Structure 1
Amino acid sequence: MPTVVNSLAATQNVSRTVSVALPGRAYDILLGPGQLGQGGRLIAGRLGKGRCGIVTDANVAAYHLGELEASLKAEGRWKGSIVLPAGEASKSFSQLAPLCEQLLEMELERGDMVVALGGGVIGDLAGFAASILRRGVRFVQVPTSLLAQVDSSVGGKTGINTPQGKNLIGTFHQPSLVIIDTDVLETLPDRELRAGYAEVAKYGLLGNADFFDWLEANASKLFDGDLPARLHAIETSVAMKARIVIADEREAGERALLNLGHTFGHALEAWTGYSDRLLHGEGVSIGMCLAFRLSEKLKLCAPGTAARVTAHLAAAGLPTRISDIPGGEMPTPARLLQLMEQDKKVQDGLLTFVLVRGIGQAFVTRDVGRDDVAAFLDENIGAQA
């Protein structure tokens, strides 16, 4: 079980620590305000010797790169910084190769580390580069988006996208440290904040009904910048993910539950070309609503459950239907099904779904037939109500 240090009732100036106690690869998640300016000290104090090469994107660099560089320089740890284009398109072979070459030009050694400063795109890409650089160097996650803070920075999944699908090329490479500064959320665009919230809601929907109840009552505080609410939401999310990762690091069983909504969502992201038409969290939001609707259609959960989930995500400013994707054109069921069949979790040609028996009661199944999925997609494409 993950260790959570400091109670939720602690003062808002006290940082929290969640430990991911993987044998031989244990690391801490440090959470609280003001962490970025302490990054150099935190890295030096916990990880010992080693120089740091920062990887970030142009949007994040404008706000936060200088502060992290200064903290690393103060400890004599900064080796250089690489600024990549912002956006999902950077998770590609075309960016991976030059990134690896630039890191090698820094003369980073096996005892050094890559520091990923950014959202999920930077974390996935920089973590992948670290996993193959000199056959593996350490890396530190410094997530700057809500989505990365609660999900992608924890657990060691790294990777890039291809035209065939999302995250189909990658590795498992655990970070050595995760530093979550809640202050950086103040510079996050509102759409990005709300997209990240989908991953927060996911934890309640897949395995913690009490947490989802709390979110229904308190989500607006999170969006309004209430620090205790943000700390509670983030800490609860990462503690749940840590527990699942400890139990199933390489997604042989329970970890697959973290993909609630992702089989549909990843297909929608691929269909939109990993563009700004649909952010990852927005795809997950639509995907979770579809998963609950499919569960109701299959009589796995009580009528009205999907409507409750849809209402909450809509109130959070998230899309809940395929027809909510801007641009007019809608995918065909056949095209979406084709993209879903490229999902990493397909086994023996069978689609893997995370479905539910109720809120907080998710499970994994491969018992939904292809024809049933196609018919369900046909019903839901273009549906407005």
Structure 2
Amino acid sequence: MVVVVHLAGPTAFEHKVFDRSLLQPLWYPAMTGVDVFFVVSGFVMAVTAGGALLEGAPTTSLGRFAWRRASRVYPVYWVVTLAVLAAVVVVPGLREGGLAGTDLLASFLLLPQSGEPLLLVGWTLVHEMGFYAVFTLALVAARAGRWAARAVLVGWGAFVLVGHLALPDASSPWWRVATNPVNLEFLLGIAAGLLVLRHRGHGGALLTAGLALLVPAWIDLSVHGPLLRDATAGALVVGTGAALAVAGLARLERDGRLRVPALLARLGDASYALYLVHVPLVTLLAVVVSAVLPTPGGAAGVVLQLAVVLLVLAGCQVAGLVAHRVVEQPLLRGARALERRATRPRPGPVADPAQPVAERAELSGTASTLAT
């Protein structure tokens, strides 16, 4: 869905190559792919750390949680961003405006900034990292009980709503990120995850309810543009529909009533790599294709345009799979190896058989404390 956005938008691939868009009716509906992305992020966090939210007992250490989130997001993002930076330095015309208005440090650290990040989709990852920070606070609070963890999350949702309504047009990029209504979609994803963990709701009914919200929203977006002309209403309607649909699909899969095809599973594994590489790839292909492709008129032109767009769409999927295999997986393996090395228990002192039993016991207890 997000790839379609960057194929069909007013400044995207189709307009650059053909001066028109066959996919234009899909543009606004495809934008809700970002909403689904945020919902899935909340869902995954709830499922992987659900003990803290359901029982008040964190299932992993805070250090490990923070490391795994950072090592999952940053390394491959840095690789792609560095590639984009090198390309823009060599050929400034590849990116509109070059590096003007871009905070490079904020771009690499995924911090809020007034302009666009160097890698366009980085704006969504800024929200993602903010969500991880709040979720970490919830895990800290969970040590006092599940009520405390939930209070942190509910309090965050209230802050987003009140802050957006109080200062919707604030100039501070930090405030705009913190109070953007899309943050509510992370919470809806958490609710979907807890629903599945609690074994509540029939999968088919949940999926039907989700589609009952999403399909009319997609139709309305296709015909009228931004949903209800209100960011909060749009986030709640689309986010709730996505959360119900995700919960329903997960329940159907857990109940053995849904089997995910192997190809879709592999595309799912590569989805983050695809998310990162598709914009630079589409930008580069627009330059190349517009330079070499003839543009016949009439029906032949329409057929050619449709064929080219579908090939680029498929090519992005292939590029995502390759980037996942060649770049992302090795980086993840390296991060896990560093984690294992850092958490490997250090060997305790070797006891001298001639030492008194009490002294050996004291040394053993010291070693256990250090390892822990």
Same fold (TM over 0.5): no
- Give the number of the structure with larger relative contact order, counting CA–CA contacts within 8 Å between residues 6 or more apart: 2
**TM norm structure 2:** 0.26
User: Which TM-score applies when normalising by structure 1?
Assistant: 0.25
